[in-house]
Structure 1
């Protein structure tokens, strides 16, 4: 067994809105540095925990967790195209193992993986297909959300499965940190928006363009301290990173949705992907982690964080 972890924030706005050059250069340089580390590590398999932003998962059937046995890029923000390189037999075995360990997980032979999955693969590996990848969706946008304590159990089950594998494995957590994009909330939007949240797969190019322009406009306004997006919260973000660095995962046994929303905003719920990733690493034994980067970038509506860790158990 050989396990390495990288958790990163994502923001599809990186290619559309640019903060001050030094801020953007430093962030992109660290992504490139981590990508070089991935190349050196040369994983034989990636397990990727990520959210969805109403591009692939909708209220017509919203699971708390879903493992992709086959998966295709959703095509949002023009990040990635075609199928992911999913090792089907291993993904199928993972589903059986997780369910047998008392975590009810859905599975899909037609998962649509949006930018929460595709952007970290592009940034860290250069392609959505370079390495065999098992995508694991964690609902972080559609209320009611899975409690963080259940996310810990999911990560623990996945980690115990990985600990029994012979491959060199990279675990990725993709999301957050404090992050408040204009995600519509069911129950407080017009009927036509509710219908989109229920069954909005495969939108027209025009509908997708309008939706993405709304997000971009929120980023521009946040950078000017205007608009409706909640301000980023570096104190909350750095406190979470310290929890992960110090192996203090018990913090998440009692973390509530209200706390996440108050401090991290609507997209702060994506911290669930980091929780699952670190829980999977911890399930394999002791680990050593370090913070690689943090900066609140309003233009990208994200407290941009990057953390890496390695299992200390051979």
Structure 2
């Protein structure tokens, strides 16, 4: 088997405001089982599709897609901090091949990322440097954003590139399903927040980062008490989305606009384009089968939380 996939929701709130013990145990067991499947696959290369939450990418320059030739995690919300193990030469070659396929892939030699990248590497592989990683950012929070079609085409191009390597490749997608935590918006920002969103937030002072984290925790606590205090979760849509992935029907999402997705599932649900890109990449290896599906609404984490693996069906 030359390819495997796992998509997993992330949350900055793990360990800060957790659900009931039995729910947390479910999630931990689900992740442990996925980690075991990945260990059995023994990937030689990991391609990680993940978003950012105004910790590494800002409106001074906001690409739709960016491949990190060099990459480090900042360790927000007690996620792992430090360098991610990127094979720089391979990343440069990948970016060049994607451009040849009409994919507008930005590159960064000092890409800064947050828990959206760090959590799947920690939870599923045991660390930021456990395996060689091609980290690919997909803008999922800062309009204008890429649509489903562009994410799918980019994922397919990445899949074609990795097929040529003759390596065991693990595709990871990182993102919540329906959710809308209190992420700032440029159109509604005051002067201070606007300055942060335009780039000064990349080096956020510790006290301000702590206040930002406290606001998120407080919002989660309020959401548990009143599901209308934030945009409500949409488990019906979330499970429909998982069905589409399982049935190999990601192309049917091409016609959905970004506004439609925001209305259905909240403004942060655009993170699911990381899942679409990962499944599109896997599809270039042929038909696939899914396994290990898990879904639960977890208001404590302000997320429709899901986990899903897949492997080529012909192997």
TM-score by length of 1: 0.97
Q: Distance in 2 between matches of 1:276 and 1:284?
A: 14
The superposition leaves residues 70-102 of structure 1 with CA deviations (integer Å, 9 ceiling, x where unpaired) of: 101122112112110001111111101110001
Q: Residue 34 of structure 1: CA displacement? A: 0.9
The residue aligned with 1:203 is: 204
Q: Would you say the 8 A contact 2:30–2:292 is kept in 1? A: no
Structure 2 residue 275 is the aligned partner of structure 1 residue 274: yes
Q: Which stretches of structure 1, 4 residues or more, deviate above 6 A after TM superposition?
A: none
Pair 1:244-2:251 in alignment: no
The count of residues paired between Structure 1 and Structure 2 equals 314
**Alpha-carbon contact 1:295-1:303 (below 8 Å) kept:** yes
Q: What displacement does 1:290 show?
A: 3.0
The corresponding residue for 1:10 is 10
**Structure 1 residue 227: Cα displacement:** 6.1
Shift of 1:301: 0.6
Q: Is the 8 A contact 1:73 1:114 kept in 2?
A: yes
Unpaired runs of 5+ residues, structure 1, are none
What residue number does 1:260 align with?
261
Could you tell me whether the CA contact under 8 Å between 1:241 and 1:291 is conserved in 2?
no
Q: Name the structure 2 match of 1:75.
A: 75
CA contact (8 A) 1:177 1:302 kept: yes
> Structure 2 length as normaliser, TM-score?
0.97
Cα distance between partner residues in 1 of 2:148 and 2:128: 28
Aligned-partner Cα distance in 2 for 1:313–1:104:
32
Q: Extract unaligned runs of 5+ from structure 2.
A: none
Q: Which residue of 2 aligns with 1:151?
A: 151
CA distance in 1, matches of 2:230, 2:293: 26
CA offset digits 1:108-154 (Å, max 9, x no partner):
10001211100111110111110111100000011010121111110
Contact (CA 8 Å) 2:70, 2:86: kept in 1 or not?
yes
SS of the equivalent of 2:186 reads: coil
CA distance in 1 between partners of 2:295 and 2:147 (Å): 26
